[in-house]
Amino acid sequence: MGSPTSSRLATTLCGVALKNPVLAASGTFAYAVEFETLVDLRAVGGIVVKGLSREPMDGNKPPRIWEAESGMINAIGLQNIGARAFVKDKLPGIRKIGTPVFANVFGYAVEDYEEVIRILDGEEGLAGYELNVSCPNTKHGGIFFSNDPSLLGGVVGRVRALTKRPVIVKLSPNVAKIEPLAQAAAEAGADAISLVNTFVSLAVDARARRPRIGNNFGGLSGPAIKPIALRLVYEAAKAVKIPLVGLGGIATGEDAAEFLVAGATAVEVGTATFWDPASPVRIARELDDFCRAEKIERVGELTGSLRLN
């Protein structure tokens, strides 16, 4: 059986050493410390904590989750304890984990992102940041940061100026073309790009004639989105030279290998942790099995090895 800490899986992301390229995704792994009785956190390649805002947020009204065919729709509403409470209540435990932890950061104006980074950047225990840009910019009429290269470049550039830690930008798939957004993030100073976030979706109760989600629309994740996510990762990898972190429906080691082959340096596992909290460790073990079977000596050999017909 493969090992999540096999030497063949060791890699780096933005200069951060990882035991393996399988990270736990933001939004599905809480603040990491809540999982320490369920998962060997030292065997996870890295952890991206639940999104943090400058002030606490209660999230959307229920119901907030619906199980779809081959996936899940959620509209949690970015519920979180806020950056200051995170520093006070969660970061002390995170420092003891021994695994790189990235803070996911979001906001509704550039100043929101800046304030969260200021709160976090003086604290020890974080390997870097992942910017969730799938939010509407309330100062620009609700245009989503993730849909406008200029707005995206603006927020990335402002954050880049505030920290020396690696900055990963998490892109939305709800765009016409991913390449201009990936390029804007890279040109503004992003160290890496993660993609994809969830797809805007609608679940309908035909008998009640109403949406099944309290917020009406939600984000679709899970195996159903994997083929589209793979295509977007491939397209983004061809458009930029910085590393990519792929996510979207990864549930097995071979799924992870597919994203690496498409151009990713690392992957994140999200929805799979709902039915298997230890899935990032299992997937890393399965990825090690895959590499051994394929006679891959270093997992990095897989990255970008896709050959189109």
Q: What is the DSSP letter of 270?
A: -
Closest alpha carbon to 14 in 103, 127, 126: 127
Query: Cβ distance 284 to 45 under 8 Å?
Result: yes
* C-alpha separations of 221 from 73, 105, 181, 199, 305 in Å: 6, 20, 21, 7, 25
Q: One of 52, 75, 135, 240 is an active-site residue; which one? A: 135
Helices (H), the chain: 83-85, 91-94, 110-121, 149-160, 179-187, 226-239, 253-262, 279-293
d(CA 82, CA 275): 27
What is the DSSP-derived secondary structure letter of residue 228?
H
**8 A C-beta contact, residue 133 and residue 196:** no
State both tokens at 304: 């970008």
Crossing angle of helices 226-239 and 253-262, rounded to 10°: 30
Please give the single-letter amino acid code of residue 294: E
What is the token pair recorded at 62? 């229920």
Residue 8 CA to residue 45 CA, distance in Å, equals 13
DSSP label at residue 138: G
Residue 80 one-letter amino acid: N
Q: Is residue 135 among the annotated active site residues? A: yes
Active site residues: 135
